[in-house]
Amino acid sequence: MRWLCLLALGTCYVTFFMFMDLDGFFIPFTNWTLVITTLSIIASIQASTDEVNFGKDALQTSDRACYTQARHHVLYTLAIMMNFICVGFYWFMLRDEQQEIHGGHEKNGWGRSIHLEMVHSVPACSTIVNVICTNTILRKENWKFITYLTLLYGGVVWAFYLTTGIQQYSFLNYETGDAFKNLFWINLGAVIVYVIFCTLDEMIKP
């Protein structure tokens, strides 16, 4: 199933490079989510066959096990939360706005519309499949990685705005300062949701 997910994720890269602006790949949060989800699926595929670093008592028998398991866990955690944010914002807040912007493109409007629908659904579905297939329990202390990611992405988009004058999203308005306030609330909300997910995960998984 993970290999099918990886294949499906690959189609999102194909549609992006076919229809979107190549020089803007690392600006949308959606593409960050796509990349992290891809790395998470790859890490899970490797973990499923790596008995040295993920087998019984691996932490006591392998020097690399700690790093390898930590990397897998962080990617797994970020993929879940980034897809939650990405899907929530797109389908409930930004879909009409983004479809109007990209769907109206003179040459590739139809392709961009298809890409937006795919890239805001395929990674999330792949993450759900990976969660079902992976016996990994979310850890509450990893909430800090959500804050690190918020600061990193906020900084990148701010730098993008300062250098190009382009506002990436309507709710990230750096000119009025609303972006900083909204990023704070997004981070707080995501951390709260993550703690809830951790609690449910501990109840469901052995």
Give me the pLDDT at residue 13, please.
97
Instruction: Give the span between the Cα atoms of 30 and 24, in whole angstroms.
Output: 12
> Tokens at residue 141, please?
């202390």
Q: How confident is the model at residue 79 (pLDDT cuts 50, 70, 90)?
A: very high
Answer whether residue 90 shows pLDDT above 70: yes
Give me the pLDDT at residue 206, please.
67
N-to-C CA span, the chain: 22
Looking at per-residue pLDDT, the higher value among 85 and 55 belongs to 85
Answer whether residue 99 shows pLDDT above 90: no
Give me the pLDDT at residue 189, please.
97
Lowest mean pLDDT among 3-17, 88-102, 131-145: 88-102
Q: Tokens 């990611």: give the residue.
A: 149
- Cα-based distances in Å from 9 to 75, 94, 127: 16, 22, 10
Q: Which of 98, 94, 49, 92 minimizes the C-alpha distance to 72?
A: 49
Q: For residue range 117-132, what is the model confidence (pLDDT) as tens digits?
A: 999 999 999 999 999 9
Answer whether residue 102 shows pLDDT above 90: no
- DSSP character for 93? I
Q: Which of 48, 36, 34, 45 minimizes the C-alpha distance to 75?
A: 36
> Tokens at residue 107, please?
């040459």
Give me the pLDDT at residue 44, please.
94
Give me the pLDDT at residue 129, please.
96
Q: How many helices (H) and strands (E) does the chain have?
A: 10, 0
